[in-house]
Structure 1
Amino acid sequence: MRLPDLEAWAIFATVAEHRSFTGAAEALGLSKATISKAISRLEADLGQSLFHRTSRRLALTEAGRPLADHAAMILASAHAAEEAARDAAHAPTGRIRLAAPMTFGVSKVAPLLTTFLTDHPGIEVELHLSDARVDIVAEGFDIALRIADLPDSSLRARRLCAIQSYLVAAPAYLERHGCPTHPGQLGDHQLLGYTNVVGPWRFRGPGGAEISVKAQGPLAANSGEALIPALVGGLGIARLPAFILGSTLRDGAVVELLPDWRPEPIGLHLLTPPSPLRPARVEALIAYLSEHLRD
């Protein structure tokens, strides 16, 4: 059996990341000639070109794009195996790249990291906060927290808990437009859309009855927090989780609607790259977040 050219695959992953033979050579501490020979060797083995080369630009070919993802996983698995061997004899050390939604990350995740980092002085965490859906593998994240129904993918996912959302509106909006008494009436109202939660608004009511409503209205945003001024200002009705609503719900700036028809909860998931091999520092943070966010 012929073994795969793992060195060439690792070099290919680095060239694809840097989009440059020179950049890959500097990152790996190898000569540019060694990088070029490894790519040519891999292309000969595969029988296809991996890059379009010009004097000014290096770009992945149609065949090279999906193979670059495989190469990145091969390289990440090798790094993880080496780190796991080292970590077995020492306390976990190194950097972890963690992605989380903006408001949830600020209110729930960031406070947890203080204790975690105090207990693990050799670990560093780079916390990336964004409501945009990140590409974990391509952007090099070790862990991502995502509040959504997950599509099928090669990522490893762990459901931590269900997050309850509330249907709310400002008293001023209800005075002008009336208060709906059934989800079926929401089509006659102005609905503010939180685009990170895709699909229709689904409700479960008395006796297990279910109904779905398409959210349409004057404003949609990929940040739930961005909807708060419009919501409080009486522009429409929104469906948002409590960690985004915060004091606006507690203080009565908005009120809950249709309490007998609660929106279906949304899962909080912890995602990691496909490889089952992870450094001890990443395993430590996964265990910590799983324990403290499961409620």
Structure 2
Amino acid sequence: MVSTATSELPNAGEGLDAVSAANHIEASGLSKSFGAFKALEDINFTIKNQEFVSVLGPSGCGKSTLLRIMAGLIPYETGTASIKGEKVLSPRPDIGVVFQTNNMLPWLTVRGNVELGARIRNMPAAARDTAVDKILEVLSLTKFADAHPHQLSGGMRQRASIGQALVLDPPVLLMDEPFGALDALTRDKLNVELLRIWQEHRKTVMLITHSIAEAVFLSDRVLVMADRPGKIIDEVLIDLPRPRNAATTRAMPKFGEYVTYLGRVMGVAN
């Protein structure tokens, strides 16, 4: 793994406090094959407690495979994958996962979908109602609690999917291109919404994306993958002040510098 903040760009200056220093997500020498096809090779990285890290790379480079391994959804051949120091062998209750396509059940209301995981986990009714009410408010979905998925916009359905992951208050959130299927305007709005949620609740987040601007806007660090087989070729610390907002952060010259640099690393800019 190449671990650089690049000589052209400054390292992040503030760092995390002592409580936040522990690694929540870690991969060491991780490899994965599907038959004769090697999807991932020698993946090494760490994500600290409460850190927001994006994994950026072209389509087909193994980003989603990597996330599914960290979520315990698929096995791997060599190396190790761990969450909070424990080897990942299967799905865990302290991990929330959000996929690109929302998994809302069409016959349930927004509230019914958001609370489904809590019901399956047998959360007491009073605690469940409180948690769901809070999440609906955070996601600006309170007025749509009794609506069904077909009555919602794509962005609202995706917010509800995030709510499904958040309602159990997991310390770790894995997100697999959650906004990839949305139009650019809705995607930008949900980037802002996701950043607001993270700034308020400070989950440890691993976000899979192919959007350079999205990765820079949201992240503390960006890991860059190359494909065939997928491997991490660069690591960039994003030294942009927090809290961030769309208007001021994206207007900063440094934001453009990060986007340009990452574009060159990915081969999409000269």
TM-score interval, smaller chain: under 0.3
Tell me which structure has the larger Cα radius of gyration. Answer: 1
Q: TM-score, normalised by structure 2?
A: 0.23
Structure with higher RCO (Cα < 8 A, 6+ apart): 2
Greater share of helix: 1
